[in-house]
């Protein structure tokens, strides 16, 4: 009798009536063959695997994470509300003990969506995982969360959201940013002065194969997770490292994804990218689901799978092992790195240019963090987009000290409206979102 | 005139109907060890003194195949299975003679491994040597490309009595369910065929030559010849009989819960504007999950004869039955006995009922009257709770489009239709305990047989069209056709409808009954290398379960009261 070892919840929301544009990789057809394979395997009939219905996420859930300009309804389509809602449903099922683990197979994806959202970038508008995690923190009081991003593209949106949060460990494995969108995710990107070391980047050379990915998981990710002791492990489960993916240059396989999932044992996985819709996704998803459920996946292989052809050269192996060492060094040394970064700094500044490739918007950000010794620090982002929108976004973190709370409110209440269209306050202490307009 | 016959656990109900309504009704005892007697005596009694040419046909709903599966009285049959990547197919083994042979199709119907014909021949030889006569042949994704299943049949057909192919059973995905369904079809084929051939023969010997239709679990009928190819569709037709017996009395513009309250169980179903809701996949029986189309029904262990107990100070009802009520000579107190105490039941041993309920009352620290009321209240409340849970289950079915997620219909029934033996006592109380408008189905104790008689022939067709490959296929129908460029969704819908109508007529439907519904309809742009190359179209279409045309008005002509 076929039975799941772990009670596993699945949300399948393929959004069969939603596309960015008719021929866009993020289109209606994307999960069609995955559905065919999942249904044909009879996965939803297996004892211990249950399919749940995605809910629609609330505006408050989005506002707990993002500053949407001009507002959430303008930057989100209906499908985003359900995709993020699917992640939320799985998170709730996990916390309510309905399931041991869950996988939200939803689209559109979200890991390129940053704290401030002017539009879509890298096919993402809002961050499904962050919306789920912040909801779970609010509703269930969980604290430490680890996000392991195994999409081929750097999870720059998730990185941005948790850049200043020492309670969220973000580790991204991805194809080297010198060779792929969004061009970031180098190991020196390790978080802000109050949270250095809880952002970790593991760039991988093109043509990294099963051996490389599993090495990173075993040598770097698992030991760090062991140290960090998260309440919840979330996997941003992009599937575009596959050897047939049309947008990337990696050599990962369905079996490899299943092995990775079996090693990582995420509580919750959320689908990100992956655009080899016929030759990879059907097999990768079946592999991941079986691995989540703790079941035998040894018969899951692509019809044209050949480990010999995907053999990873020794120079790639060396590069990866070196990167793992660097990342482990950062992790072990994170307290000292924080001390050095905080030395003689009261306000830390970060200036960035962000391009929204999907919506063709340029944004310039000036971020100011209060480098606090008692909490992770309030921060404000002065954000202007080339479509004329300019906002000041003030974030008071979940565990803000009295002083940082006051600083945040002072920024929010006393900043001159000047050329800002809006000044927005995200007060995570009180779980409030306030907007000042001209 | 039409005969409807429904075999139940204790009684077999038989009715004779014409356009003026119910002409005859009889009940004969069901002896599970001799279903044939029940069916044969039911049919001969109901037709007594009626010229055979006055009767157009008989529709039968029996527990024959259901019992055979539940009691595991099945012959040894064989399976030949082909499978591509995925779950290890060994998990789906049906028995000793389950042969995995090399050969595979992928999700789009492309051959990814050629068929090992020698392995097929070897498997066939082994089965033959073991005396096997019935074989199921199933391939993963055979509904996308049945070539291997067809080839296997060609190789082995001369060696066996009957071969069942997976892709003919249903156009729905699910390899494990396809295996289970082909296996069950092969397993019950002989018992089904022998039984109905014997019924036909005996009737003919008695001068009754009638076309015989069989009721299916989806509330539709099929003619005898179709049932020989798809005997599995006769499994679990009982609950469908009751649902079909109530739809004539359901409001046409509201959502209704049907409750068939029996001795052992209460069967529930939902009607939307008089149309029954279908189960999402197929029937489940004895651990087998199948692709056999069925109405969405739920059976709970609560009925007039459920055992009433007190355990840990709490009153419990059911889920078991240990016999009839005390009042009818049974061994344990039941809700029916509570009705006797409350003065709501007729002939029976009221004293015995009272003694039993008094014992319960003592354990609860109540008076006998209070305990009886509590038992009756709790039975009704539990039935209502289960009904609510079923509605929640239907509403929590996942959806795959933005439109359905945001604007999808959520059902909220306002009416209850009650049938089954204890209906009169329950209907009134259910209404007082809930917000539903409650009605009893006229002839509530034989409504199932009326439903059996009046159901129309139903079927379903799934069509796949690929405008890049320029090919359309309907697996159940062995239909493959090349397409002209410019083939559109509307063309596909027309094609599916034509196939459906042809199939329905072939299986015994009449043209005036071909009310169809599109159950699923999707059209996807297929894009390769960032270029649109064609459309992938999928349509699932059905003949809607319902009553035959000229009998739709019969509802008003059926007297409410069963005494006749």
Pseudo-torsion of CA B163, B168, B169, B174, nearest 10°? Answer: 110
Q: What CA–CA distances, in Å, run from B195 to A7, B6, B228, B479, B508? A: 44, 15, 11, 32, 20
Q: Do A16 and B177 touch (CB under 8 A)?
A: no
pTM: 0.94
Pull the structure tokens for residue A131: 């919306």
Distance CA B164, CA B78 (A): 10
Q: Look at residue B146 and tell me whether its pLDDT is greater than 60.
A: yes
Q: Are B42 and B26 in contact (CB under 8 A)?
A: yes
Mean pLDDT of A99-105: 98
Q: Which of B91, B174, B398 sits opposite A40 (nearest CB)?
A: B174
Q: Are A385 and A415 in contact (CB under 8 A)?
A: no
Residue B209: per-residue pLDDT = 87
Percent of chain A with pLDDT over 70: 100
Substitution target from B400, B489, B530 for chain A, most A beta carbons within 10 A: B400
Q: Is the dihedral of CA B494, B500, B505, B509 positive or negative?
A: negative
The active-site residue, picked from A80, A111, A112, A395, is A112
Mean pLDDT of A160-183: 97
pLDDT tens per residue across span B455-490:
999 999 999 999 999 999 999 999 999 999 999 999
pLDDT tens per residue across span A286-317:
999 999 999 999 999 999 999 999 999 999 99
Q: Which of B85, B87, B402 sits opposite A18 (nearest CB)?
A: B402
Residue B58: per-residue pLDDT = 96
Q: Is B349 helix (H, G, I), strand (E, B) or coil?
A: coil
Long-range contacts of B146-151 (CB under 8 A, 24+ apart): B146/B475, B146/B478, B147/B105, B147/B111, B148/B82, B148/B103, B148/B105, B148/B111, B148/B115, B149/B82, B151/B115, B151/B117
Q: Is the dihedral of CA A292, A295, A296, A297 positive or negative?
A: negative
Q: Look at residue B196 and tell me whether its pLDDT is greater than 60.
A: yes
Residue B480: per-residue pLDDT = 95
User: Count of A–B CB contacts within 8 Å?
Assistant: 128
Distance CA B127, CA B192 (A): 22
Q: Does B176 touch chain A (CB under 8 A)?
A: yes
Residue B436: per-residue pLDDT = 96
Q: Is A141 helix (H, G, I), strand (E, B) or coil?
A: coil
What's the longest Cα–Cα distance across chain A? 68
pLDDT tens per residue across span A262-279:
999 999 999 999 999 999
Q: Look at residue A259 and tell me whether its pLDDT is greater than 60.
A: yes
- pLDDT greater at residue B174 or residue B265: B174
- Min Cα distance B180 → chain A (Å) is 12
Q: Which of B84, B172, B176 sits opposite A303 (nearest CB)?
A: B84
Query: Chain B residues with CB inside 8 Å of A258's CB?
Result: none
- Min Cα distance A101 → chain B (Å) is 18
pLDDT tens per residue across span B355-403:
999 999 999 999 999 999 999 999 999 999 999 999 999 999 999 989 8
Query: Chain B residues with CB inside 8 Å of A35's CB?
Result: 400
Q: Do A299 and B87 touch (CB under 8 A)?
A: yes
Percent of chain B with pLDDT over 70: 99
Percent of chain B with pLDDT over 90: 83
Residue B141: per-residue pLDDT = 98
Pull the structure tokens for residue A288: 């991941």
Q: Which residues 78-117 of chain B have a CB within 8 Å of chain A?
A: 84-89, 91-92, 104, 106-108, 112-113
Distance CA A87, CA A11 (A): 8
Mean pLDDT of A115-125: 95
Query: Chain B residues with CB inside 8 Å of A299's CB?
Result: 85-89
φ and ψ at B276, to 5 degrees?
Answer: -70, 145
Mean pLDDT of B524-543: 93
Q: Look at residue B327 and tell me whether its pLDDT is greater than 60.
A: yes
Q: Is B547 helix (H, G, I), strand (E, B) or coil?
A: strand
Residue A347: per-residue pLDDT = 97
Substitution target from A25, A40, A299 for chain B, most B beta carbons within 10 A: A40
Q: Do A23 and B281 touch (CB under 8 A)?
A: no
pLDDT tens per residue across span B243-299:
999 998 999 999 999 999 988 889 999 999 999 999 989 999 999 999 999 999 999
Q: Does B407 touch chain A (CB under 8 A)?
A: no
Q: Does B527 touch chain A (CB under 8 A)?
A: yes
Rounded to a whole number of angstroms, the CA Rg of chain B reads 25
Alpha-carbon B507 to chain mean position? 17
Clarify whether A66 is annotated catalytic.
Answer: no
Cβ neighbourhood burial of B134 (10 Å; 0-12, 13-18, 19+): buried
Substitution target from A4, A12, A42 for chain B, most B beta carbons within 10 A: A42
pLDDT tier, B212 (very low <50, low <70, confident <90, very high otherwise): very high
Residue B564: per-residue pLDDT = 40
Query: Chain B residues with CB inside 8 Å of A278's CB?
Result: 107-108
Nearest chain B residue (CA) to A89: B398
Q: Look at residue A151 and tell me whether its pLDDT is greater than 70.
A: yes
pLDDT tier, B557 (very low <50, low <70, confident <90, very high otherwise): confident
Mean pLDDT of A93-105: 98
Mean pLDDT of B88-105: 97
Residue B33: per-residue pLDDT = 81
Nearest chain B residue (CA) to A302: B85
Query: Chain A residues with CB inside 8 Å of B280's CB?
Result: none
Q: Does B402 touch chain A (CB under 8 A)?
A: yes
Residue B120: per-residue pLDDT = 98
Q: Does B531 touch chain A (CB under 8 A)?
A: yes
H or E, element range at A64: none
Q: Look at residue B521 and tell me whether its pLDDT is greater than 50.
A: yes
Could you tell me where the DSSP H helices lie in B408-488? 423-433, 447-454
Nearest residue to B232 (alpha-carbon basis) of B164, B176, B286, B292: B292
Residue B562: per-residue pLDDT = 60
Q: Does B396 touch chain A (CB under 8 A)?
A: yes
Q: Do A29 and B525 touch (CB under 8 A)?
A: yes
Q: Do A36 and B112 touch (CB under 8 A)?
A: no
Give the mean pLDDT of chain A. 96
Pull the structure tokens for residue A284: 């990768």
- Min Cα distance A230 → chain B (Å) is 31
pLDDT tier, A164 (very low <50, low <70, confident <90, very high otherwise): very high
Q: Look at residue B115 and tell me whether its pLDDT is greater than 50.
A: yes
Q: Look at residue B559 and tell me whether its pLDDT is greater than 90.
A: no
pLDDT tens per residue across span A368-427:
999 999 999 999 999 999 999 999 999 999 999 999 999 999 999 999 999 999 999 999
């Amino acid at each position: 009798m076929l039975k799941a070892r772990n009670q596993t919840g699945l949300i399948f929301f393929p959004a069969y009536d939603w596309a960015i544009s008719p021929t866009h990789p993020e289109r209606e057809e994307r999960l069609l063959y995955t559905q065919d394979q999942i249904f044909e395997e009879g996965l939803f009939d297996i004892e211990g695997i249950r399919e749940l219905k995605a809910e629609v996420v609330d505006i408050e859930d989005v506002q707990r994470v993002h500053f949407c300009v001009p507002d959430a309804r303008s930057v989100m389509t209906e499908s985003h509300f359900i995709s993020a809602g699917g992640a939320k449903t799985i998170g709730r099922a996990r916390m309510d003990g309905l399931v041991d683990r869950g996988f939200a197979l939803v689209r559109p994806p979200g890991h390129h969506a940053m704290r401030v959202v002017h539009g879509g970038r890298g096919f993402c508008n809002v961050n499904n995982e962050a919306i789920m995690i912040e909801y779970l923190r609010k509703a269930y009081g969980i604290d430490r969360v680890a996000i392991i991003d195994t999409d081929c593209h750097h999870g720059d949106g998730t990185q941005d959201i948790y850049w200043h949060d020492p309670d969220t460990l973000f580790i991204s494995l991805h194809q080297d940013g010198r060779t792929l969108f969004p061009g970031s995710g180098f190991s020196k990107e390790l978080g802000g002065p109050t949270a250095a070391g809880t952002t970790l980047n593991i760039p991988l050379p093109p043509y990294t194969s099963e051996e490389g990915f599993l090495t990173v998981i075993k040598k770097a990710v698992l030991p760090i997770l062991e140290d960090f002791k998260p309440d919840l492990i979330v996997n941003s489960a992009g599937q575009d490292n596959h050897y047939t993916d049309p947008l990337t240059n990696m050599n990962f396989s369905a079996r490899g994804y299943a092995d990775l999932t079996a090693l990582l044992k995420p509580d919750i996985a959320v689908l990100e990218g992956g655009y080899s819709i016929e030759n990879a996704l059907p097999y990768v998803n079946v592999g991941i689901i079986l691995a989540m459920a703790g079941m035998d996946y040894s018969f899951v292989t692509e019809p044209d799978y050949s480990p010999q052809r995907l053999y990873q050269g020794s120079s790639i192996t060396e590069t990866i092992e070196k990167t793992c060492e660097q990342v482990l060094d950062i992790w072990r040394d994170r307290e000292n790195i924080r001390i050095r970064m905080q030395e003689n700094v009261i306000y830390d500044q970060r200036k960035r240019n962000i391009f929204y490739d999907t919506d063709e918007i340029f944004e310039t950000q000036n971020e100011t963090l209060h480098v606090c010794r008692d909490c992770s620090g309030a921060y404000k982002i002065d954000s202007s987009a080339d479509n004329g929108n300019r906002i000041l976004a003030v974030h008071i973190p979940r565990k803000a000290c009295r002083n940082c709370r006051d600083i945040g409110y002072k920024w929010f209440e006393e900043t001159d409206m000047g050329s800002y269209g809006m000044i927005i306050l995200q007060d995570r202490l009180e779980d409030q979102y306030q907007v000042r307009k001209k | 005139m039409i005969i409807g016959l429904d075999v139940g656990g204790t009684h077999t109900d038989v009715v004779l109907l014409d356009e003026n309504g119910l002409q005859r009704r009889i009940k004969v005892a069901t002896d599970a060890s001799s279903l044939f007697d029940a069916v044969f005596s039911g049919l001969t009694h109901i037709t007594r003194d009626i010229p055979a040419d006055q009767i157009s046909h008989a529709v039968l709903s029996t527990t024959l195949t259901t019992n055979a599966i539940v009691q595991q009285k099945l012959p040894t049959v064989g399976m030949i299975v082909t499978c591509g990547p995925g779950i290890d197919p060994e998990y789906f083994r049906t028995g000793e003679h389950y042969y995995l042979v090399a050969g595979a199709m992928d999700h789009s119907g492309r051959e990814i491994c050629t068929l090992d014909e020698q392995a097929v021949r070897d498997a066939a030889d082994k089965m033959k040597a073991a005396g096997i006569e019935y074989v199921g042949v199933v391939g993963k994704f055979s509904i996308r490309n049945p070539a291997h299943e067809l080839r296997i049949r060609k190789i082995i057909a001369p060696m066996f009595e009957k071969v069942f192919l997976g892709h003919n059973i249903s156009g729905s995905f699910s390899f494990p369910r396809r295996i289970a369904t082909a296996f069950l079809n092969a397993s019950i084929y002989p018992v089904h065929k022998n039984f109905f051939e014997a019924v036909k023969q005996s009737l003919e010997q008695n001068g009754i030559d009638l076309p015989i239709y069989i009721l299916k679990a989806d509330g539709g009928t099929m003619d005898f010849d179709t049932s020989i190819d798809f005997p599995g569709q006769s499994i679990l037709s009982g609950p469908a009989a009751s649902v079909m017996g109530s739809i004539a009395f359901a409001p046409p513009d509201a959502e209704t819960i049907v409750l068939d309250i029996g001795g052992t169980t209460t069967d529930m179903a939902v009607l939307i504007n008089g149309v029954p809701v279908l189960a999402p996949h197929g029937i489940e029986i004895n651990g087998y999950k199948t692709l056999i189309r069925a109405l969405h029904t739920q059976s709970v262990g609560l009925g007039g004869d459920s055992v009433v107990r007190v355990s840990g100070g709490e009153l419990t009802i059911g889920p078991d039955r240990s016999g009839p009520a005390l009042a009818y000579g049974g061994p344990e107190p039941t809700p029916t006995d509570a009705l006797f105490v409350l003065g709501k039941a007729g002939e029976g041993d009221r004293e015995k009922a009272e003694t039993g309920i008094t014992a319960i009352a003592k354990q609860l620290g109540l008076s006998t009257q209070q305990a009886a009321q509590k038992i009756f209240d709790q039975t009704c409340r539990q039935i209502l709770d289960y009904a609510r849970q079923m509605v929640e289950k239907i509403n929590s079915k996942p959806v795959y489009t933005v439109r359905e997620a945001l604007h999808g219909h959520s059902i909220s029934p306002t009416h209850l239709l009650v049938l089954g033996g204890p209906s009169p006592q329950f209907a009134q109380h259910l209404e007082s305990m809930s917000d539903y408008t409650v009605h009893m189905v006229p002839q509530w104790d034989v409504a199932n047989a009326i439903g059996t008689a009046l159901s129309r022939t139903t079927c379903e067709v799934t069509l796949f069209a690929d405008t890049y490959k320029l090919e359309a296929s309907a697996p159940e129908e062995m239909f493959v056709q090349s397409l002209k460029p410019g083939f559109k969704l509307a063309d596909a819908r027309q094609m599916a409808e034509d196939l459906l109508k042809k199939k329905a007529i072939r299986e015994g439907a009449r043209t005036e009954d071909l009310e169809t519904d599109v159950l699923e309809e999707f059209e996807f742009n297929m894009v390769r290398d960032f270029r649109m190359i064609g459309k992938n179209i999928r349509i699932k279409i059905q003949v809607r379960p319902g009553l035959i045309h000229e009998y739709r008005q019969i509802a008003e002509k059926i007297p409410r009261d069963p005494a006749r």
